[in-house]
Every structure is written in C-alpha cells, then in structure tokens.
C-alpha cells in the first residue's frame, strides 16, 4: 500500500480458526435449549478436510467427540428419567461434562493451543 500500511490477506487458517470459534459458540448456545450443536457438528464434518494439518484440527476432533458423547449421554439419560427418575442425575452429569468440554476447548482455542487426541 502507498501509505506504508500492509494489507493483511486472510489465510485459510484464519477461516478455519473463525469456524472453530463459531462451533464453540453454537455449543454454548446449545446449553440454553437452542439446537446449535447439530449445526456445529455439521460444520465440523463439512470443513474437516480444510482443518487437517492445522492447529484447529484437534479442536474439530474435540468438538465432534463432545457432540457425539453428549448425545449418547442424553440418549441414555432420557429413558432413565422416564423409567426410574435416575436420569436426572445422569443428565446433570452429562450436562456438567459438556460444559467442561466446551470451557476446556474454548480456553485452549483462546490460547492457540491444540487439544489432546
């Protein structure tokens, strides 16, 4: 540029970073009853190849595993609520675990660190 400033060209890694943040936000929104995690996991699967060999690849895997394990936990808890009332406890545990996964993932995201496999 003529005025001495450097024009920043967005890189593919920046786009994947932004999508990673969007998915974390969708998972947070999901905590309040809005089915954002479904949209988030679809984004993860559609853009997974673009995230390969980047820092954000571990976050995509983390988000996908978080979604599926939370869904499994909910699927187990719901019948337990109906049948025994025990599902309220298992559901609360799944909810706490889900919050932990989102917070841990987002903190690593914010620090620019990968997550464990």
Which tokens go with 4?
A: 């001495």
User: Would you say 63 and 44 are in contact if contact means Cβ atoms under 8 Å apart?
Assistant: yes
- Model confidence pLDDT, tens digit, residues 11-53: 678 899 999 999 999 999 999 888 899 999 999 999 999 999 9
This prediction's pTM: 0.86
CA distances (Å), origin 36, targets 58, 74, 88: 20, 15, 22
Which tokens go with 38?
A: 């479904």
Give the confidence band of 9 by pLDDT, cuts at 50, 70, 90.
very low
- Model confidence pLDDT, tens digit, residues 51-104: 999 999 999 999 999 999 999 999 999 899 888 888 899 999 999 999 999 999
């Amino acid at each position: 540029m003529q005025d001495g400033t450097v024009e920043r060209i967005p890189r593919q890694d920046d786009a994947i970073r932004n999508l990673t943040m969007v998915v974390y936000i969708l998972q947070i929104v999901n905590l309040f009853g809005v089915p954002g995690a479904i949209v988030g996991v679809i984004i993860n699967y559609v853009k997974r190849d673009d995230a390969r060999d980047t820092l954000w690849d571990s976050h995509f895997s983390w988000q996908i595993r978080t979604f599926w394990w939370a869904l499994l936990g909910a699927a187990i808890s719901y019948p337990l609520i109906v049948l025994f009332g025990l599902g309220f406890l298992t559901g609360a545990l799944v909810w706490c675990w889900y919050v932990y996964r989102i917070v841990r993932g987002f903190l690593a995201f914010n620090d620019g660190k990968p997550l464990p496999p």
